Structure 1
Amino acid sequence: MRPLFFILLPGLLVAGAACQRTDRGSSAPLVGPVPAASVVTPDARLRETRWVLRRIASQPVADSTVGGQQPYLQITDAGTAEGQGSCNRFRGTLQPAANDGELQFSPLVSTRMACPALATETLFTKALQSTRAYRIQGDTLWLYGNAERSGTALARLEATPAR
């Protein structure tokens, strides 16, 4: 009987600790696992985040564009925008925003090399030039052509670790 008690005791202690709760009025944390539904991913930062292009309007963009490189956008804390269109690198600055959520790029300068993925790059560049607002939710950035952020997004980008 005694060996069985010593085998079951650790399991009972763990089970008892997992069920322990505190008063509703108490600020002490609950003990036990946090339900997955209550875990919230914080929004990525617009600046100093590498944003990889995933969609242009309603068209998906492949992870590795054939004949080019992965298109991305990165905005610095200093207000410069740079990235890779697919074939060519681009750079520009941000226009001052009057309200939260507004985003507008100055004319972007870019290299002019030809490659098979030039169509993707052209659409991405046009989307950036038409951007007037953005929305971030978790690790996703949507670019919109109007301040109301309505209608189909011009582009959808995903936060990835900076290289």
Structure 2
Amino acid sequence: MRFPFLFLALLAAGCQTRPAAETAATPPPLARTAPDAPLRETRWVLRQLAGQPITVPADTREPYLTLRADGTAEGNGSCNRFRGSFFSENPSELKFSPLMSTRMACPALETENAFTRALGQSNTYRISGDTLRVLDATGAAVARLEAVYLR
């Protein structure tokens, strides 16, 4: 008759739970989130225009944008450098003056022109981690850029 007693003892042991105090003292795992990249003095590399991923021909550069602390906007559309001014006087505001550019012919000229047009349509922005979304006056994303840190 030992078998039923042993069975009941094992069954009771399997049903025990941790005391409430021990469960409450165990902290939940921490969610790690990266801080948002700064708008200024960050190299923002273009990844999408109007929701479409961009492709860069092998003999051209990655399009990028850098917004300087003095209000200067500069970058490269893929072949041509551009420069102008930007305004961000209110939270989330981002507007550009007309951008001046060199005008060399290149295989990525269509992407380059679309990039500078998107910056010209800019009204606001949103940064989440290493992602900058440039939004037009309706709130639609005209460009998505990614912070790239140089080593």
**Structure 1-normalised TM-score?**
0.72
TM-superposed deviation, 1:61: 1.3
Corresponding position of 2:120: 129
Aligned match of 1:138: 129
Equivalent in the alignment of 2:72 = 80
Q: Say yes or no: does 1:154 pair with 2:142.
A: yes
Unaligned residue ranges in structure 1 (runs of 5+)? 1-20, 25-29
Runs (5+) with no aligned partner, structure 2 = 1-21
Cα deviation for residue 68 of structure 1 reads 1.8
Alpha-carbon contact 1:85-1:124 (below 8 Å) kept:
yes
Deviating 4+ runs (over 2 angstroms) = 64-67
User: 1:69–1:87: 8 Å Cα contact kept in structure 2?
Assistant: yes
3-state SS of paired residue (1:38): coil
Sequence identity, in percent? 53
Which residue is 2:60 aligned to? 68
- Deviation (angstroms), 1:96: 5.2
Q: For the Cα contact (< 8 Å) 1:101–1:133, is it kept in 2?
A: yes
Give the alignment of 1:102-121 within 5 angstroms: 102-121=93-112
Give the strand-richer structure, 1 or 2. Answer: 2
Indicate the residue corresponding to 1:58 in structure 2: 51
Measured in 1, the distance between the counterparts of 2:33 and 2:149 equals 19
SS at match of 1:112: coil
Taking the aligned partners of 2:48 and 2:57, their CA distance within structure 1 comes to 12
Task: Report the AA paired with residue 82 of structure 1.
Answer: E
2: CA distance between counterparts of 1:93 and 1:65? 28
Correspondence for 1:46: 39
Contact 2:85 2:96 in 1 (8 A): yes
**Which has the higher Rg, Structure 1 or Structure 2?**
2
TM-score in terms of structure 2 length = 0.77
Partner amino acid, structure 2, of 1:155: A
Do 2:123 and 2:136's aligned partners in 1 also have CA atoms closer than 8 Å? Answer: yes
SS at match of 1:102: coil
The equivalent residue for 2:16 is none
8 Å contact kept, 2:43–2:149:
yes
